[in-house]
Structure 1
Amino acid sequence: MNGEGCLGIVDDEEMLVKTYQMIFERQHIPLAFIALDGTEAIAKFKAASPRPMR
């Protein structure tokens, strides 16, 4: 996979993250990473394989 159709979730509200995750999983949209703050998101984005869409 080249990252097309792949997403990362970033939000500091854990309940929203779980809701987004559930929605994307039900739609069979793959997640590259989940992060609860910007610093974590940057690190996970850099390490993600495949990279999420921009």
Structure 2
Amino acid sequence: MANGAILGWLTDRKNKKVEIYRQNQDVEILDNPSTVSGEDVLPGCVLDLTDVW
């Protein structure tokens, strides 16, 4: 975020969690999500996590 990123995902395969980082917002932590989206930053981008877990 300090380098100008607008959206970031940090995946934790072992614990099946995703941390979502957004500019000027608190980190959102999802437990075992099946997908994460690119929101308005990458419209239409959806990462399917079912193969990751």
Q: TM-score range by the shorter chain?
A: under 0.3
TM-score normalised over the length of structure 2: 0.25
User: Higher strand proportion, which one?
Assistant: 2
TM-score normalised over the length of structure 1: 0.24
User: Higher helix proportion, which one?
Assistant: 1
